[in-house]
Amino acid sequence: MLKDYLRLHFIVLLWGFTAILGKLISVPPVELVFWRTLLATIGLGLLLTLKKQSPRIPLGQAVRLLSVGALVAVHWITFFLAARLSSVSVCLAGMATLALWTSLLEPLLLWRRVRSYEVFLGLLTMVGLYLVSQAEFDQLLGLGVAILSAGLSALFSVLNVKLVKQHSPLRLTFYEMMGACLSVVLFFPVYSLYFTDGAGLRLTLAAWDWVWLLVLAGVCTVYAFSASIELMKRLSAFVINLTTNLEPVYGIVLAVLIFGSEEKMSGGFYLGTLVILFSVLIHPVLDQWNQRRQRPATVV
């Protein structure tokens, strides 16, 4: 069990590293997402072959998964854009609002009741965001884009709740990565014409870009995903969710260690981030308490 816990924390550490990789790779966010999803699709396809899982599914379901993949592409583009517009730390502080977005979207899309403690935690998150925005006023645009990215991430996560019941997680992610890659390719003509100031697409990668991109697609996407699926067989959902919520913490610590003074923020930023992270970390605890409270008592 200790080995599994350490492996889970290592996976979350890798996920926290993605914003840093997005800043290290020189190509713009749209081209970066194209390369990441292309390599991830190839890697997941190889995994399906090794595990002898057929990728074939009905056409209607394939279209649905590919459409969710387009949402993933927009999420990753805004995520990497936020890291470029602001610091990695501010980007991850905005991404920490994922739990708030999920608590808002789940009742709307899954038709479940609103939970009072989630309303409270949402208000607490808003307080944390106010403190962060006041402390880093010059990085408000990046913070806003990161919050939007967190909302898109929450949306496709909620949509996946239904889809994962119909498909194996590996096959589902293969189609979503393919959909993300195809949607970026279809967006290329519009992007090249209106969003590149006449410079066109920048798909050429430098030597170090290839290194960081292979880490991003191979290690942080394909390996981290397949390893997390394996751990789900032995660890509880509560432990996995609680540990995953540490992703912004690991990311901010790594950013300070790698970028140094560029990532050092004011005291107000860290206070606001702590408020947000407290609301994020306490959420699965309250969620499990709520489930136990609603569970009918067993008569012995």
Please list, in sequence order, all residues whose beta carbon lies within 8 angstroms of the beta carbon of residue 270, skipping any fewer than 6 positions away.
Answer: none
- Taking only the tens place, the pLDDT of each residue in 245-256 is 889 989 999 998
- Taking only the tens place, the pLDDT of each residue in 129-183 is 999 988 888 899 999 999 999 999 989 888 887 787 788 888 989 999 999 999 9
Instruction: Report how far residue 129's alpha carbon sits from residue 271's, in angstroms, rounded to the nearest whole number.
Output: 10
CA nearest to 205, candidates 6, 16, 36: 36
Can you give the pTM of this predicted structure? 0.90
Higher pLDDT among residues 70 and 231, named by residue: 70
CA nearest to 269, candidates 144, 141, 130: 130
- Taking only the tens place, the pLDDT of each residue in 278-298 is 998 888 888 888 878 777 654
Boundaries of every domain in the chain = 2-292
- Taking only the tens place, the pLDDT of each residue in 15-66 is 999 999 999 999 999 999 999 999 999 999 999 999 898 899 999 999 999 9
Q: What DSSP designation does 57 have?
A: -
CA nearest to 147, candidates 105, 104, 77, 91: 91
Using CA of residue 259, residue 74, residue 97, residue 136, what is the dihedral sign?
positive
Task: Describe the crossing of helices 88-95 and 59-85 by its angle, rounded to 10 degrees.
Answer: 140
Cβ burial, residue 84 (10 Å; 0-12/13-18/19+): middle
The tokens for 72 are: 């993933």
